[in-house]
Structure 1
């Protein structure tokens, strides 16, 4: 993907990449056309209601969908509660900042009232992520459905989720292990054009010499993230609630928030020479 292309391509490839993380031959567009024809409309309406109350929650739903898909495939296992005998994915350290579970519960309640026992939570998450992207200005894309909900959810399985500190080689190997290419990985990172991040995910870059980080951007971030704080900042400060390609434009200026964001740029840049 060329750096200058618009958000339309980003949205399409993000959608394809997420679909690939748990793709199954039985998935199809319009899966609920007969069994629950209002399913996607119900999800859309409830997501829009939630976004009125909290304009940033769409980014949370998109992140939740990714965290679900990357671990065991898109099976809704990130929604399963822990028990006395087992700590589930949602209570793993990396998922403690996930938000929006109550919204998924509310949507599920609406779906059950309309079509009891028909729509899976896994599909619900996929629809909600798509509708969030659309709300932020991305194009509407068709979501193949028919996913089955998983019954296994383990904290330890989340250890494979990408860390903000990983370098290009580590990230590439991780995504390849999930059947995704380096191009897929870089495109999926474009989802960082919306949402917020906690300071502790990137402060190492602010208070240590990091030549890959623009000094003016670093200075601004230090004001928002003083030592010892764990405030939140927008991942794309120019358009934090707009699904566009400013994320990639920021990388050109060495303004990727995470080390894992900026690490993808030098290699890509060399290829264009």
Structure 2
């Protein structure tokens, strides 16, 4: 009798552990809203298309928003919360001050609340909007899991962990590994720089200091063009990929090989044989890049998510309930 009771308790413990280990996988899944809000993904796609028709570049912001949200403190829409009198939120951290597209998320949320009140999280809206932005630019329409819940905390200090334009390969690799991502994930996610713009102050220091880390790796004609665009003291903007500004292609990697990488953090991907080999593979094989990018985005989207009874479904993405 005692032996059977012990076996029962052991079975319960094993089931509990399995459930615990599979908790995120069970609750964050592709097609999460197929029953509770069947039109959710369509509504998000429609609003993204509308926004990009009016402002073709804002899709890059929506993609960057997703990365900054997930990488800083998990995919919990903390980047959408407004600052309060007692707290400076993530969106007001220096690294996020140039980020646009928050009103697009507001518009999506308003439409979703009208048809499926209290169902679709702001965190999931960001994830789907990033995917739809990539697809709009001609990139792969990858699968996105749903079921994330929204966090109640947003601190500007949490954004300090985000990668910066002047970091080298060793620094970036350690940073990504600390967040559960690999060096290969870092190289493929860097491919998002095939779209978007940058403000001059993110890289101008390299242009006027010949001793700056990574300066010598930049093509001199390209550097001269950037100096013309970014005179000392200015904060103009430059296109990340002037060859195909609004196309989600593998040109980023081709630019690196021709020494047209904008940031030190871009050019450093050529600093070892192993990383350069990966860059060359993506530069020569568009389909491989698209496939690997889709896999990395799916992985990024499951970073430190809130599920079940954790967090909440915000009625307004800018404020906790």
Shared fold (TM-score, shorter chain, > 0.5): yes
The aligned residue for residue 101 of structure 1 is 102
The normalised TM-score by structure 1 is: 0.90
Tell me if 1:122 matches 2:127: no
The aligned residue for residue 24 of structure 1 is 24
Q: Separation in 2 of the partners of 1:271 and 1:213?
A: 15
The aligned residue for residue 68 of structure 2 is 67
Deviation at 1:126, TM superposition (A): 0.3
Kept after mapping to 2: 8 A contact 1:42/1:110:
yes
Deviation at 1:24, TM superposition (A): 2.7
Kept after mapping to 2: 8 A contact 1:92/1:156:
yes
Query: CA, structure 1 residues 186+134, in 2 after alignment: closer, same or farther (shift >3 Å)?
Result: same
* SS class of match (2:171): helix
Q: Separation in 2 of the partners of 1:270 and 1:175?
A: 15
Deviation at 1:110, TM superposition (A): 0.5
Q: Separation in 2 of the partners of 1:271 and 1:176?
A: 19
Matches within 5 A, 1:97-176: 97-176=98-177
Tell me if 1:183 matches 2:191: no
Tell me if 1:39 matches 2:44: no
Kept after mapping to 2: 8 A contact 1:205/1:213:
no
Kept after mapping to 1: 8 A contact 2:44/2:125:
yes
Query: CA, structure 1 residues 216+100, in 2 after alignment: closer, same or farther (shift >3 Å)?
Result: same
Matching residue within 254, 261, 268 for 2:259: 254
The aligned residue for residue 218 of structure 2 is 213
Query: CA, structure 1 residues 270+140, in 2 after alignment: closer, same or farther (shift >3 Å)?
Result: closer
Tell me if 1:82 matches 2:83: yes
Tell me if 1:230 matches 2:235: yes
Bigger radius of gyration among the two: 2
Matching residue within 264, 268, 272 for 2:269: 264
Q: Separation in 1 of the partners of 2:62 and 2:202?
A: 19
The aligned residue for residue 245 of structure 1 is 250
Q: Separation in 2 of the partners of 1:164 and 1:56?
A: 20
Kindly report the root-mean-square deviation, in angstroms, between the aligned alpha carbons of the 2 structures.
1.4
Q: Separation in 2 of the partners of 1:92 and 1:271?
A: 33
Query: CA, structure 1 residues 254+155, in 2 after alignment: closer, same or farther (shift >3 Å)?
Result: same
Q: Separation in 2 of the partners of 1:81 and 1:66?
A: 18
Q: Deviations over 1:165-208 (max 9, x none)?
A: 11111100000001111010010000000000000001011112
Q: Deviations over 1:45-73 (max 9, x none)?
A: 00000001100000000000100000111
Deviation at 1:268, TM superposition (A): 3.9
Kept after mapping to 2: 8 A contact 1:175/1:185:
yes
Q: Separation in 1 of the partners of 2:45 and 2:275?
A: 42
* SS class of match (1:86): coil
The aligned length equals 251
Question: Which stretches of structure 1, 4 residues or more, deviate above 6 A after TM superposition?
Answer: none
The normalised TM-score by structure 2 is: 0.76
Deviation at 1:269, TM superposition (A): 6.1
